[in-house]
A and B are shown apart, each in its own frame.
Chain A
Protein backbone atom coordinates (compact mmCIF):
# COMPACT_ATOMS: atom_id res chain seq x y z
CA UNK A 1 0.00 0.00 0.00
CA UNK A 2 2.94 2.24 0.72
CA UNK A 3 4.12 1.95 -2.89
CA UNK A 4 0.62 2.53 -4.15
CA UNK A 5 0.43 5.67 -2.05
CA UNK A 6 3.72 6.85 -3.42
CA UNK A 7 2.59 6.18 -6.97
CA UNK A 8 -0.60 8.07 -6.43
CA UNK A 9 1.27 10.93 -4.80
CA UNK A 10 3.68 10.87 -7.73
CA UNK A 11 0.82 11.25 -10.18
CA UNK A 12 -0.55 14.16 -8.16
CA UNK A 13 2.87 15.74 -7.84
CA UNK A 14 3.71 15.23 -11.50
CA UNK A 15 0.46 16.83 -12.48
CA UNK A 16 1.04 19.81 -10.26
CA UNK A 17 4.78 20.32 -10.62
CA UNK A 18 4.79 23.20 -13.04
CA UNK A 19 6.60 26.47 -13.01
CA UNK A 20 4.68 29.66 -12.59
CA UNK A 21 4.60 31.48 -15.96
CA UNK A 22 6.60 34.70 -15.91
CA UNK A 23 3.62 36.99 -16.50
CA UNK A 24 1.63 35.32 -13.71
CA UNK A 25 4.59 35.51 -11.38
CA UNK A 26 5.01 39.19 -12.13
CA UNK A 27 1.40 39.93 -11.19
CA UNK A 28 1.72 37.88 -8.03
CA UNK A 29 4.92 39.67 -7.07
CA UNK A 30 3.11 42.95 -7.51
CA UNK A 31 0.41 41.72 -5.15
CA UNK A 32 3.04 40.58 -2.65
CA UNK A 33 4.63 44.02 -2.78
CA UNK A 34 1.26 45.44 -1.77
CA UNK A 35 1.05 43.09 1.19
CA UNK A 36 4.60 43.93 2.21
CA UNK A 37 3.84 47.63 2.14
CA UNK A 38 0.72 47.21 4.25
CA UNK A 39 2.55 45.12 6.83
CA UNK A 40 5.37 47.62 7.04
CA UNK A 41 2.94 50.48 7.39
CA UNK A 42 1.06 48.86 10.25
CA UNK A 43 1.07 51.16 13.26
CA UNK A 44 4.16 50.56 15.29
CA UNK A 45 3.16 48.71 18.43
CA UNK A 46 6.47 48.44 20.24
CA UNK A 47 5.78 44.77 20.66
CA UNK A 48 7.96 43.47 23.38
CA UNK A 49 8.96 40.06 24.34
CA UNK A 50 9.85 38.58 27.63
CA UNK A 51 12.29 35.81 27.07
CA UNK A 52 15.20 37.65 28.62
CA UNK A 53 13.13 38.25 31.72
CA UNK A 54 11.92 34.70 31.48
CA UNK A 55 15.40 33.24 31.21
CA UNK A 56 16.66 35.43 33.99
CA UNK A 57 13.84 34.33 36.22
CA UNK A 58 14.29 30.70 35.27
CA UNK A 59 17.85 30.88 36.48
CA UNK A 60 16.76 32.12 39.87
CA UNK A 61 16.98 29.93 42.87
CA UNK A 62 13.39 28.90 43.17
CA UNK A 63 12.53 28.51 39.55
CA UNK A 64 8.82 28.07 39.79
CA UNK A 65 8.50 31.00 42.10
CA UNK A 66 10.35 33.11 39.60
CA UNK A 67 8.01 31.96 36.91
CA UNK A 68 5.14 32.88 39.13
CA UNK A 69 6.67 36.29 39.61
CA UNK A 70 6.89 36.65 35.88
CA UNK A 71 3.22 35.79 35.61
CA UNK A 72 2.60 38.45 38.18
CA UNK A 73 4.74 40.75 36.09
CA UNK A 74 2.65 40.13 33.06
CA UNK A 75 -0.42 41.08 34.98
CA UNK A 76 0.99 44.18 36.51
CA UNK A 77 3.39 45.89 34.20
CA UNK A 78 2.08 45.18 30.75
CA UNK A 79 -0.17 48.12 30.82
CA UNK A 80 -0.38 50.06 27.65
CA UNK A 81 0.61 53.28 26.15
CA UNK A 82 -1.14 54.19 22.97
CA UNK A 83 -3.73 56.31 21.41
CA UNK A 84 -7.13 54.78 22.12
CA UNK A 85 -7.89 56.15 25.51
CA UNK A 86 -11.10 55.02 27.02
CA UNK A 87 -12.79 56.09 30.19
CA UNK A 88 -13.57 52.53 31.25
CA UNK A 89 -9.95 51.52 30.81
CA UNK A 90 -8.77 54.66 32.53
CA UNK A 91 -11.06 53.91 35.48
CA UNK A 92 -9.52 50.47 35.84
CA UNK A 93 -6.03 51.91 35.68
CA UNK A 94 -6.90 54.51 38.29
CA UNK A 95 -8.21 51.80 40.59
CA UNK A 96 -5.04 49.80 40.21
CA UNK A 97 -2.87 52.86 40.74
CA UNK A 98 -4.63 53.81 43.96
CA UNK A 99 -5.04 50.26 45.26
CA UNK A 100 -4.16 49.72 48.90
CA UNK A 101 -4.71 46.02 48.38
CA UNK A 102 -4.70 43.83 45.34
CA UNK A 103 -5.36 40.14 44.76
CA UNK A 104 -5.58 37.98 41.68
CA UNK A 105 -4.84 34.54 40.29
CA UNK A 106 -2.70 33.67 37.30
CA UNK A 107 -3.66 30.42 35.56
CA UNK A 108 -0.52 28.96 33.99
CA UNK A 109 -2.15 25.71 32.87
CA UNK A 110 -5.25 23.79 33.87
CA UNK A 111 -5.16 23.27 37.66
CA UNK A 112 -1.93 25.23 37.88
CA UNK A 113 -2.47 28.63 39.41
CA UNK A 114 -0.55 31.33 41.20
CA UNK A 115 -2.41 33.55 43.66
CA UNK A 116 -0.94 36.98 44.28
CA UNK A 117 -1.75 39.24 47.22
CA UNK A 118 -0.50 42.74 47.90
CA UNK A 119 -1.28 44.95 50.86
CA UNK A 120 0.11 48.45 51.34
CA UNK A 121 2.69 49.43 52.21
CA UNK A 122 4.85 46.41 51.35
CA UNK A 123 3.20 43.11 52.19
CA UNK A 124 3.28 40.57 49.42
CA UNK A 125 2.46 36.93 48.97
CA UNK A 126 2.72 34.60 46.00
CA UNK A 127 0.98 31.27 46.57
CA UNK A 128 1.35 28.56 43.95
CA UNK A 129 -1.07 25.68 43.53
CA UNK A 130 1.85 23.26 43.47
CA UNK A 131 2.60 23.93 47.11
CA UNK A 132 5.13 26.75 47.06
CA UNK A 133 4.47 30.07 48.76
CA UNK A 134 6.55 33.23 49.21
CA UNK A 135 5.80 35.91 51.74
CA UNK A 136 7.39 39.27 52.26
CA UNK A 137 6.60 42.08 54.68
CA UNK A 138 8.89 44.75 53.29
CA UNK A 139 11.57 44.19 55.93
CA UNK A 140 14.01 42.84 53.35
CA UNK A 141 13.33 39.24 54.31
CA UNK A 142 11.44 36.64 52.37
CA UNK A 143 9.87 33.48 53.62
CA UNK A 144 9.69 30.68 51.06
CA UNK A 145 7.43 27.85 52.18
CA UNK A 146 7.48 24.50 50.40
CA UNK A 147 4.30 22.89 51.64
CA UNK A 148 4.64 19.54 49.91
CA UNK A 149 8.04 18.99 51.43
CA UNK A 150 7.15 20.61 54.76
CA UNK A 151 10.19 22.88 54.66
CA UNK A 152 11.01 26.55 54.35
CA UNK A 153 13.75 28.99 53.48
CA UNK A 154 14.15 32.39 55.10
CA UNK A 155 15.98 34.64 52.71
CA UNK A 156 17.56 38.04 53.08
CA UNK A 157 18.81 40.33 50.36
CA UNK A 158 17.08 41.22 47.17
CA UNK A 159 19.67 40.50 44.52
CA UNK A 160 18.39 37.09 43.51
CA UNK A 161 15.05 37.55 45.05
CA UNK A 162 12.08 36.52 42.95
CA UNK A 163 9.56 38.49 44.92
CA UNK A 164 11.64 41.61 44.47
CA UNK A 165 10.47 41.49 40.91
CA UNK A 166 6.94 41.90 42.09
CA UNK A 167 7.95 44.88 44.20
CA UNK A 168 8.93 46.65 41.02
CA UNK A 169 5.77 45.40 39.45
CA UNK A 170 3.66 46.95 42.12
CA UNK A 171 5.51 50.20 41.64
CA UNK A 172 4.96 49.82 37.92
CA UNK A 173 1.30 49.27 38.56
CA UNK A 174 1.06 52.59 40.30
CA UNK A 175 2.43 54.50 37.35
CA UNK A 176 0.49 52.81 34.61
CA UNK A 177 -0.03 54.56 31.30
CA UNK A 178 -3.57 55.62 30.70
CA UNK A 179 -4.27 54.18 27.28
CA UNK A 180 -4.45 50.75 25.63
CA UNK A 181 -3.38 49.81 22.10
CA UNK A 182 -6.57 48.29 20.81
CA UNK A 183 -10.21 48.29 21.79
CA UNK A 184 -11.63 44.75 21.67
CA UNK A 185 -15.30 45.50 22.09
CA UNK A 186 -17.60 44.13 24.75
CA UNK A 187 -18.79 40.74 25.93
CA UNK A 188 -21.27 39.50 28.52
CA UNK A 189 -20.11 37.17 31.29
CA UNK A 190 -22.49 36.13 34.06
CA UNK A 191 -24.65 39.16 33.53
CA UNK A 192 -21.75 41.59 33.55
CA UNK A 193 -20.79 43.59 30.51
CA UNK A 194 -17.03 43.51 30.06
CA UNK A 195 -15.04 45.82 27.84
CA UNK A 196 -11.78 44.55 26.39
CA UNK A 197 -8.50 46.30 25.67
CA UNK A 198 -5.50 44.79 23.96
CA UNK A 199 -2.07 45.70 25.20
CA UNK A 200 0.77 45.11 22.79
CA UNK A 201 3.45 47.29 24.28
CA UNK A 202 5.94 46.98 27.03
CA UNK A 203 7.30 50.13 28.61
CA UNK A 204 10.78 51.17 27.62
CA UNK A 205 13.36 49.29 29.60
CA UNK A 206 11.24 46.19 30.02
CA UNK A 207 11.49 44.92 26.46
CA UNK A 208 11.58 41.18 26.43
CA UNK A 209 11.15 38.43 23.86
CA UNK A 210 8.03 36.40 23.28
CA UNK A 211 5.32 38.62 24.72
CA UNK A 212 2.58 39.04 22.14
CA UNK A 213 -0.38 40.57 23.83
CA UNK A 214 -2.45 40.95 26.94
CA UNK A 215 -6.20 41.37 26.66
CA UNK A 216 -7.51 43.14 29.75
CA UNK A 217 -11.26 42.93 30.35
CA UNK A 218 -12.86 45.57 32.52
CA UNK A 219 -16.33 45.63 34.06
CA UNK A 220 -17.95 48.45 32.14
CA UNK A 221 -20.34 49.31 34.96
CA UNK A 222 -17.83 49.59 37.79
CA UNK A 223 -14.49 50.10 36.04
CA UNK A 224 -13.10 47.10 37.95
CA UNK A 225 -10.48 45.06 36.09
CA UNK A 226 -12.04 41.59 35.69
CA UNK A 227 -9.62 39.26 33.97
CA UNK A 228 -6.85 39.19 31.40
CA UNK A 229 -5.61 36.78 28.73
CA UNK A 230 -1.90 36.80 27.96
CA UNK A 231 -0.25 35.39 24.83
CA UNK A 232 3.44 34.54 24.77
CA UNK A 233 5.36 33.02 21.92
CA UNK A 234 9.06 32.48 21.75
CA UNK A 235 10.49 32.19 18.27
CA UNK A 236 10.00 28.72 16.87
CA UNK A 237 7.83 27.69 19.81
CA UNK A 238 4.07 27.25 19.92
CA UNK A 239 1.85 29.92 21.32
CA UNK A 240 1.59 29.81 25.10
CA UNK A 241 -1.41 31.39 26.78
CA UNK A 242 -2.05 32.13 30.40
CA UNK A 243 -4.89 33.87 32.13
CA UNK A 244 -5.38 36.24 35.02
CA UNK A 245 -8.65 35.89 36.87
CA UNK A 246 -10.36 36.92 40.08
CA UNK A 247 -8.78 40.37 40.19
CA UNK A 248 -9.83 42.13 43.39
CA UNK A 249 -8.80 45.71 44.01
CA UNK A 250 -9.18 47.25 47.48
CA UNK A 251 -10.55 44.16 49.16
CA UNK A 252 -9.70 43.64 52.82
CA UNK A 253 -6.91 41.10 53.27
CA UNK A 254 -6.13 39.41 56.58
CA UNK A 255 -2.55 40.31 57.53
CA UNK A 256 -2.04 36.78 58.79
CA UNK A 257 -1.54 35.62 55.22
CA UNK A 258 1.68 37.63 55.16
CA UNK A 259 2.99 36.21 58.47
CA UNK A 260 6.72 35.70 58.39
CA UNK A 261 6.69 32.81 60.85
CA UNK A 262 6.77 29.35 59.25
CA UNK A 263 4.55 26.57 60.61
CA UNK A 264 6.17 24.96 63.65
CA UNK A 265 6.52 21.56 62.00
CA UNK A 266 8.38 22.88 58.94
CA UNK A 267 12.11 22.25 58.64
CA UNK A 268 14.46 25.09 57.74
CA UNK A 269 16.72 24.73 54.72
CA UNK A 270 19.93 26.65 54.22
CA UNK A 271 21.13 27.02 50.71
CA UNK A 272 24.10 28.86 49.36
CA UNK A 273 22.88 31.13 46.62
CA UNK A 274 26.16 31.12 44.78
CA UNK A 275 26.65 27.36 44.72
CA UNK A 276 23.08 26.73 43.88
CA UNK A 277 23.10 29.17 41.05
CA UNK A 278 26.17 27.52 39.58
CA UNK A 279 24.65 24.09 39.98
CA UNK A 280 21.43 25.11 38.33
CA UNK A 281 23.18 26.43 35.27
CA UNK A 282 24.98 23.13 34.79
CA UNK A 283 22.17 20.79 35.63
CA UNK A 284 19.55 22.46 33.53
CA UNK A 285 21.51 21.34 30.49
CA UNK A 286 21.02 17.69 31.38
CA UNK A 287 17.21 17.83 31.47
CA UNK A 288 15.65 16.18 28.45
CA UNK A 289 11.92 16.73 28.63
CA UNK A 290 9.95 15.13 25.83
CA UNK A 291 6.47 14.41 24.58
CA UNK A 292 6.07 10.71 23.89
CA UNK A 293 3.54 7.91 23.76
CA UNK A 294 3.54 5.73 26.87
CA UNK A 295 3.05 1.97 26.91
CA UNK A 296 -0.13 0.63 28.51
CA UNK A 297 0.44 -0.20 32.13
CA UNK A 298 -1.35 -2.01 34.92
CA UNK A 299 -0.52 -0.56 38.34
CA UNK A 300 -1.34 -1.65 41.86
CA UNK A 301 -1.51 1.30 44.23
CA UNK A 302 -2.47 2.28 47.72
CA UNK A 303 -3.40 5.70 49.14
CA UNK A 304 -0.61 7.20 51.18
CA UNK A 305 0.03 10.37 53.15
CA UNK A 306 1.80 13.38 51.76
CA UNK A 307 5.27 12.85 53.19
CA UNK A 308 8.13 11.01 51.60
CA UNK A 309 8.29 8.55 54.50
CA UNK A 310 4.59 7.72 54.20
CA UNK A 311 5.01 7.21 50.46
CA UNK A 312 7.96 4.90 51.02
CA UNK A 313 6.05 2.86 53.61
CA UNK A 314 3.09 2.64 51.25
CA UNK A 315 5.34 1.26 48.54
CA UNK A 316 6.72 -1.31 50.94
CA UNK A 317 3.19 -2.39 51.81
CA UNK A 318 2.28 -2.83 48.15
CA UNK A 319 5.48 -4.76 47.49
CA UNK A 320 4.80 -7.03 50.44
CA UNK A 321 1.20 -7.70 49.35
CA UNK A 322 2.34 -8.46 45.82
CA UNK A 323 4.99 -10.82 47.14
CA UNK A 324 2.42 -12.69 49.23
CA UNK A 325 0.25 -13.03 46.13
CA UNK A 326 3.23 -14.35 44.19
CA UNK A 327 3.30 -11.39 41.86
CA UNK A 328 6.52 -9.66 40.85
CA UNK A 329 6.42 -5.96 40.00
CA UNK A 330 7.10 -5.37 36.32
CA UNK A 331 8.91 -2.07 36.86
CA UNK A 332 10.15 0.49 39.36
CA UNK A 333 7.80 1.97 41.97
CA UNK A 334 5.67 4.95 41.13
CA UNK A 335 3.54 7.52 42.85
CA UNK A 336 0.67 9.67 41.72
CA UNK A 337 -0.23 13.11 43.01
CA UNK A 338 -3.91 13.68 43.59
CA UNK A 339 -5.91 16.74 44.45
CA UNK A 340 -5.57 18.07 48.03
CA UNK A 341 -2.31 16.21 48.58
CA UNK A 342 -4.01 12.80 48.29
CA UNK A 343 -1.22 10.66 47.00
CA UNK A 344 -1.06 7.05 45.83
CA UNK A 345 1.99 4.84 45.61
CA UNK A 346 2.60 1.39 44.22
CA UNK A 347 4.11 -0.75 41.51
CA UNK A 348 3.37 -1.71 37.93
CA UNK A 349 2.40 -5.34 37.47
CA UNK A 350 2.14 -7.53 34.36
CA UNK A 351 -0.92 -6.70 32.26
CA UNK A 352 -3.85 -8.93 33.15
CA UNK A 353 -2.84 -9.31 36.79
CA UNK A 354 -5.73 -9.18 39.25
CA UNK A 355 -5.43 -8.25 42.93
CA UNK A 356 -7.93 -7.39 45.69
CA UNK A 357 -8.38 -4.74 48.39
CA UNK A 358 -6.98 -2.72 50.11
CA UNK A 359 -4.79 -2.37 47.06
CA UNK A 360 -6.23 -0.56 44.09
CA UNK A 361 -5.57 -1.65 40.57
CA UNK A 362 -5.60 0.76 37.67
CA UNK A 363 -5.17 -0.07 34.03
CA UNK A 364 -3.56 2.89 32.33
CA UNK A 365 -3.94 2.81 28.54
CA UNK A 366 -1.25 3.98 26.17
CA UNK A 367 -1.43 7.74 25.91
CA UNK A 368 0.47 10.84 24.97
CA UNK A 369 2.60 11.93 27.91
CA UNK A 370 5.15 14.56 28.77
CA UNK A 371 8.15 13.06 30.48
CA UNK A 372 11.41 14.17 32.02
CA UNK A 373 13.95 12.35 34.17
CA UNK A 374 15.45 14.22 37.11
CA UNK A 375 18.43 12.80 38.97
CA UNK A 376 18.29 12.99 42.74
CA UNK A 377 16.82 11.29 45.79
CA UNK A 378 13.21 10.19 45.36
CA UNK A 379 10.61 12.62 46.61
CA UNK A 380 13.23 14.79 48.25
CA UNK A 381 14.48 18.34 48.05
CA UNK A 382 17.61 18.68 45.96
CA UNK A 383 18.98 21.14 43.49
CA UNK A 384 17.94 20.52 39.92
CA UNK A 385 17.64 22.57 36.80
CA UNK A 386 13.96 22.83 37.52
CA UNK A 387 13.94 23.88 41.11
CA UNK A 388 14.75 22.72 44.58
CA UNK A 389 11.62 20.94 45.76
CA UNK A 390 9.25 18.51 43.98
CA UNK A 391 6.57 21.19 43.73
CA UNK A 392 8.86 23.61 41.92
CA UNK A 393 10.09 20.90 39.59
CA UNK A 394 6.55 20.05 38.66
CA UNK A 395 5.67 23.69 38.14
CA UNK A 396 8.61 24.16 35.79
CA UNK A 397 7.69 20.97 33.95
CA UNK A 398 4.10 22.10 33.51
CA UNK A 399 5.32 25.44 32.20
CA UNK A 400 7.53 23.60 29.71
CA UNK A 401 4.54 21.52 28.59
CA UNK A 402 2.51 24.68 28.03
CA UNK A 403 5.25 26.23 25.92
CA UNK A 404 5.32 23.15 23.68
CA UNK A 405 1.62 23.64 22.84
CA UNK A 406 0.20 20.93 25.12
CA UNK A 407 -1.96 20.88 28.24
CA UNK A 408 -1.83 18.37 31.10
CA UNK A 409 -4.88 16.08 31.12
CA UNK A 410 -3.97 13.63 33.85
CA UNK A 411 -2.55 13.48 37.34
CA UNK A 412 1.20 14.02 37.80
CA UNK A 413 3.01 10.71 38.20
CA UNK A 414 6.54 9.97 39.36
CA UNK A 415 8.38 6.78 38.50
CA UNK A 416 11.25 6.18 40.90
CA UNK A 417 14.28 4.34 39.52
CA UNK A 418 17.45 3.20 41.26
CA UNK A 419 18.18 1.36 44.46
CA UNK A 420 16.15 2.32 47.50
CA UNK A 421 19.20 2.28 49.72
CA UNK A 422 21.41 4.39 47.47
CA UNK A 423 19.94 7.85 47.15
CA UNK A 424 22.92 9.00 45.08
CA UNK A 425 21.86 6.68 42.25
CA UNK A 426 18.17 7.47 42.38
CA UNK A 427 16.30 9.24 39.64
CA UNK A 428 12.70 10.21 39.07
CA UNK A 429 10.77 10.22 35.82
CA UNK A 430 8.13 12.92 36.07
CA UNK A 431 5.32 11.97 33.76
CA UNK A 432 1.91 13.44 33.02
CA UNK A 433 -0.71 12.71 30.37
CA UNK A 434 -1.02 15.59 27.92
CA UNK A 435 -3.12 16.60 24.93
CA UNK A 436 -2.39 19.07 22.20
CA UNK A 437 -3.89 22.44 22.99
CA UNK A 438 -6.76 23.31 20.68
Chain B
Protein backbone atom coordinates (compact mmCIF):
# COMPACT_ATOMS: atom_id res chain seq x y z
CA UNK B 1 0.00 0.00 0.00
CA UNK B 2 2.85 2.35 0.82
CA UNK B 3 4.35 1.80 -2.60
CA UNK B 4 1.08 2.62 -4.28
CA UNK B 5 0.61 5.73 -2.16
CA UNK B 6 4.13 6.86 -2.92
CA UNK B 7 3.57 6.23 -6.63
CA UNK B 8 0.71 8.70 -6.65
CA UNK B 9 2.51 11.18 -4.45
CA UNK B 10 5.67 10.88 -6.46
CA UNK B 11 4.16 11.08 -9.92
CA UNK B 12 0.78 12.78 -9.83
CA UNK B 13 0.67 15.02 -6.78
CA UNK B 14 3.44 17.38 -7.94
CA UNK B 15 1.71 17.95 -11.28
CA UNK B 16 -1.94 17.99 -10.22
CA UNK B 17 -2.20 21.72 -10.87
CA UNK B 18 -0.48 21.43 -14.23
CA UNK B 19 -2.85 18.62 -15.23
CA UNK B 20 -5.92 20.66 -14.36
CA UNK B 21 -4.50 23.78 -15.95
CA UNK B 22 -3.50 22.21 -19.24
CA UNK B 23 -6.95 20.72 -19.72
CA UNK B 24 -8.71 23.95 -18.81
CA UNK B 25 -6.46 26.08 -21.02
CA UNK B 26 -7.43 24.05 -24.03
CA UNK B 27 -11.15 23.44 -23.54
CA UNK B 28 -12.34 26.50 -21.55
CA UNK B 29 -15.73 25.19 -20.75
CA UNK B 30 -16.63 23.75 -17.32
CA UNK B 31 -18.54 20.77 -18.66
CA UNK B 32 -16.03 20.07 -21.42
CA UNK B 33 -13.19 20.38 -18.93
CA UNK B 34 -14.95 17.92 -16.65
CA UNK B 35 -15.39 15.45 -19.51
CA UNK B 36 -11.85 15.84 -20.84
CA UNK B 37 -10.31 15.51 -17.40
CA UNK B 38 -12.42 12.47 -16.63
CA UNK B 39 -11.33 10.92 -19.90
CA UNK B 40 -7.67 11.74 -19.20
CA UNK B 41 -7.78 10.20 -15.73
CA UNK B 42 -9.49 7.10 -17.09
CA UNK B 43 -6.72 6.71 -19.66
CA UNK B 44 -4.06 7.23 -17.00
CA UNK B 45 -5.63 4.63 -14.73
CA UNK B 46 -6.06 2.16 -17.55
CA UNK B 47 -2.40 2.51 -18.50
CA UNK B 48 -0.99 2.97 -15.02
CA UNK B 49 1.57 0.20 -15.44
CA UNK B 50 2.84 1.87 -18.60
CA UNK B 51 2.99 5.19 -16.78
CA UNK B 52 5.12 3.64 -14.04
CA UNK B 53 7.48 2.15 -16.57
CA UNK B 54 7.76 5.23 -18.79
CA UNK B 55 11.10 7.05 -18.76
CA UNK B 56 9.31 10.31 -18.02
CA UNK B 57 6.01 9.43 -16.33
CA UNK B 58 4.97 12.98 -15.53
CA UNK B 59 5.45 14.16 -19.09
CA UNK B 60 3.42 11.17 -20.22
CA UNK B 61 0.60 12.04 -17.81
CA UNK B 62 0.57 15.63 -19.06
CA UNK B 63 0.50 14.36 -22.60
CA UNK B 64 -2.53 12.22 -21.82
CA UNK B 65 -4.28 15.29 -20.38
CA UNK B 66 -3.37 17.39 -23.41
CA UNK B 67 -4.51 14.66 -25.77
CA UNK B 68 -7.85 14.29 -24.03
CA UNK B 69 -8.39 18.05 -24.04
CA UNK B 70 -7.28 18.32 -27.64
CA UNK B 71 -9.61 15.51 -28.71
CA UNK B 72 -12.46 17.47 -27.21
CA UNK B 73 -11.25 20.72 -28.79
CA UNK B 74 -11.15 19.05 -32.18
CA UNK B 75 -14.66 17.75 -31.82
CA UNK B 76 -15.80 21.17 -30.79
CA UNK B 77 -13.95 22.89 -33.61
CA UNK B 78 -15.41 20.51 -36.16
CA UNK B 79 -18.87 21.13 -34.74
CA UNK B 80 -18.36 24.90 -34.97
CA UNK B 81 -17.20 24.53 -38.56
CA UNK B 82 -20.37 22.56 -39.26
CA UNK B 83 -22.45 25.26 -37.66
CA UNK B 84 -20.41 27.92 -39.44
CA UNK B 85 -19.56 29.62 -36.18
CA UNK B 86 -23.14 30.44 -35.31
CA UNK B 87 -22.57 29.54 -31.69
CA UNK B 88 -20.32 32.54 -31.17
CA UNK B 89 -22.43 35.44 -29.82
CA UNK B 90 -22.34 38.47 -32.06
CA UNK B 91 -23.89 41.24 -29.98
CA UNK B 92 -22.01 42.78 -27.08
CA UNK B 93 -24.40 44.69 -24.82
CA UNK B 94 -21.77 46.20 -22.52
CA UNK B 95 -19.56 48.63 -24.46
CA UNK B 96 -17.33 49.81 -21.58
CA UNK B 97 -13.56 49.63 -22.20
CA UNK B 98 -12.95 46.79 -19.74
CA UNK B 99 -15.83 44.77 -21.08
CA UNK B 100 -14.59 45.25 -24.62
CA UNK B 101 -11.11 44.16 -23.54
CA UNK B 102 -12.57 41.04 -21.97
CA UNK B 103 -14.53 40.27 -25.10
CA UNK B 104 -11.47 40.96 -27.21
CA UNK B 105 -9.34 38.65 -25.09
CA UNK B 106 -12.02 36.00 -25.19
CA UNK B 107 -12.29 36.31 -28.93
CA UNK B 108 -8.54 36.08 -29.32
CA UNK B 109 -8.46 32.96 -27.17
CA UNK B 110 -11.33 31.39 -29.05
CA UNK B 111 -9.63 32.22 -32.33
CA UNK B 112 -6.32 30.70 -31.22
CA UNK B 113 -7.93 27.58 -29.81
CA UNK B 114 -10.05 27.14 -32.90
CA UNK B 115 -6.94 27.42 -35.05
CA UNK B 116 -5.16 24.84 -32.92
CA UNK B 117 -8.24 22.64 -33.04
CA UNK B 118 -8.06 22.71 -36.82
CA UNK B 119 -4.49 21.46 -36.93
CA UNK B 120 -3.62 17.84 -37.64
CA UNK B 121 -3.51 15.85 -34.43
CA UNK B 122 0.27 15.49 -34.00
CA UNK B 123 0.99 19.08 -34.93
CA UNK B 124 -1.60 20.35 -32.47
CA UNK B 125 -0.34 18.18 -29.64
CA UNK B 126 3.27 19.09 -30.30
CA UNK B 127 2.58 22.82 -30.34
CA UNK B 128 0.40 22.57 -27.23
CA UNK B 129 3.10 20.73 -25.32
CA UNK B 130 5.79 23.07 -26.59
CA UNK B 131 4.11 26.46 -26.46
CA UNK B 132 1.53 26.00 -23.72
CA UNK B 133 3.21 23.56 -21.37
CA UNK B 134 6.71 24.73 -22.35
CA UNK B 135 8.01 21.19 -22.47
CA UNK B 136 11.43 20.77 -24.12
CA UNK B 137 11.56 19.00 -27.48
CA UNK B 138 13.39 16.05 -25.99
CA UNK B 139 10.62 15.49 -23.47
CA UNK B 140 7.91 15.83 -26.10
CA UNK B 141 9.75 13.33 -28.29
CA UNK B 142 9.84 10.91 -25.39
CA UNK B 143 6.11 11.10 -24.72
CA UNK B 144 5.11 11.19 -28.38
CA UNK B 145 7.38 8.20 -28.93
CA UNK B 146 9.14 9.76 -31.89
CA UNK B 147 12.41 11.45 -32.67
CA UNK B 148 13.16 14.97 -31.56
CA UNK B 149 13.54 16.04 -35.19
CA UNK B 150 10.01 14.82 -35.86
CA UNK B 151 8.67 16.91 -33.00
CA UNK B 152 10.47 19.95 -34.36
CA UNK B 153 8.86 19.28 -37.74
CA UNK B 154 5.41 19.03 -36.18
CA UNK B 155 5.94 22.28 -34.28
CA UNK B 156 7.34 24.08 -37.34
CA UNK B 157 4.41 22.98 -39.50
CA UNK B 158 1.95 23.91 -36.80
CA UNK B 159 3.54 27.35 -36.55
CA UNK B 160 3.34 27.86 -40.29
CA UNK B 161 -0.36 27.08 -40.31
CA UNK B 162 -1.06 29.07 -37.18
CA UNK B 163 0.80 32.09 -38.53
CA UNK B 164 -1.50 32.08 -41.47
CA UNK B 165 -4.63 31.45 -39.43
CA UNK B 166 -3.72 33.98 -36.75
CA UNK B 167 -2.21 36.69 -38.95
CA UNK B 168 -4.78 39.15 -37.67
CA UNK B 169 -3.41 38.72 -34.14
CA UNK B 170 0.21 39.28 -35.09
CA UNK B 171 1.44 42.89 -35.32
CA UNK B 172 2.63 44.16 -38.73
CA UNK B 173 6.21 44.44 -37.49
CA UNK B 174 6.08 40.83 -36.43
CA UNK B 175 4.77 39.84 -39.81
CA UNK B 176 7.54 41.84 -41.47
CA UNK B 177 10.09 40.00 -39.36
CA UNK B 178 8.66 36.76 -40.56
CA UNK B 179 8.85 37.86 -44.17
CA UNK B 180 12.45 38.96 -43.84
CA UNK B 181 13.57 35.97 -41.78
CB within 8 Å of B: which residues of A? 1-5, 7-9, 11-21, 23-25, 27-29, 31-32, 34-36, 38-42, 44-45, 47, 212-213, 231, 233, 237-239, 405, 436, 438
Contacts and interface: CB of A to CB of B under 8 A. Distances in A.
Given A35-B44, A40-B8, A238-B55, A20 B162 contact: no
B38 A31 contact: yes
B29 to A, nearest CB: 9
Most buried by A among B4, B21, B48, B163: B4
Contact of B109 (A7, A15, A27, A438): A15
Given A8-B166, A28-B23, A44 B109 contact: no
Interface in B105-123: 108-109, 111-113, 116
A12 B162 contact: yes
A11 B20 contact: no
Most buried by B among A2, A28, A36: A28
A21 B34 CA distance: 12
B3 interface: yes
Most buried by B among A36, A38, A47: A36
B30 A13 contact: no
Interface stretch (B75-83, B91-99, B173-181): B173-181
A12 B132 contact: yes
Contact of B30 (A5, A17, A24, A212): A24
A19 B41 CA distance: 20
A39 B108 contact: no
Given A18-B25, A25-B20, A47-B3, A237 B55 contact: yes
B54 interface: yes
B26 A27 contact: no
Given A28-B20, A36-B8, A239-B55, 15 more contacts: A1-B177, A4-B174, A8-B170, A11-B112, A11-B166, A15-B111, A16-B109, A18-B24, A24-B24, A28-B34, A29-B16, A35-B41, A35-B44, A42-B4, A213-B53
Interface of B: 1, 3-5, 7-8, 12, 16, 19-21, 23-26, 28, 30, 33-34, 37-38, 41, 44-45, 48-49, 52-55, 108-109, 111-113, 116, 127, 130-132, 141, 145, 147, 159, 162-163, 166, 169-171, 174, 177-178, 181
25 contacts: A3-B174, A4-B163, A4-B181, A5-B159, A9-B131, A15-B108, A16-B25, A18-B25, A20-B21, A20-B33, A21-B30, A24-B33, A27-B30, A31-B41, A32-B12, A34-B41, A35-B8, A38-B45, A39-B48, A42-B4, A42-B48, A212-B52, A212-B53, A213-B49, A231-B53
B33 A28 contact: yes
A8 B162 contact: yes
Would you call the interface of chain B mostly helix, strand, loop, or mixed? helix
Contacts of A45: 3
Nearest to A27: B34
B146 to A, nearest CB: 9
The 9 residue pairs across chains A and B that have the minimum distance between CB atoms = A1-B181, A238-B55, A15-B112, A16-B25, A4-B178, A15-B109, A20-B24, A9-B131, A12-B131
Contacts of A5: 159
Nearest to B178: A4
A146 B21 CA distance: 58
Contacts of A31: 34, 37-38, 41
Contacts of A13: 131-132
